Amino acid sequence: MGNPTPSEPALRILAAFSRYPEALAWARQTAVAAWGPVALESQVFAFDQTDYYQATMGPALGKCFWAFETLYDPAEMVDTKLQTNDWEQQYAGLAGHEQPRPLNLDPGYLTNAKLILASTKDYAHRIYLSRGIYAEVTLQYQERAWRDHRWTFPDYKRADYQEFFTEARNYLRARQKQERR
Backbone dihedral angles phi then psi of residue 138, each to the nearest 5 degrees: -80, -40
Decide if pLDDT at 180 tops 80. no
CA-CA distance, 38 to 28, in Å (whole number)? 9
- Decide if 62 contacts 17 (C-beta within 8 A): yes
Tell me the pLDDT tens digit for each residue of 1-49: 889 988 889 999 999 999 999 999 999 999 999 999 999 999 999 999 8
Tell me the pLDDT tens digit for each residue of 64-110: 999 999 999 999 999 999 999 999 999 999 999 999 999 999 999 99
**pTM (global) more than 0.85:** yes
CA-CA distance, 98 to 119, in Å (whole number)? 25
Residues 6 or more apart from 21 whose CB is under 8 A from it? 44, 62
- Decide if 76 contacts 13 (C-beta within 8 A): no
Helix (H, G, I), strand (E, B) or coil at 95: helix
> Which has the closest alpha carbon to 68: 34, 91, 43?
34
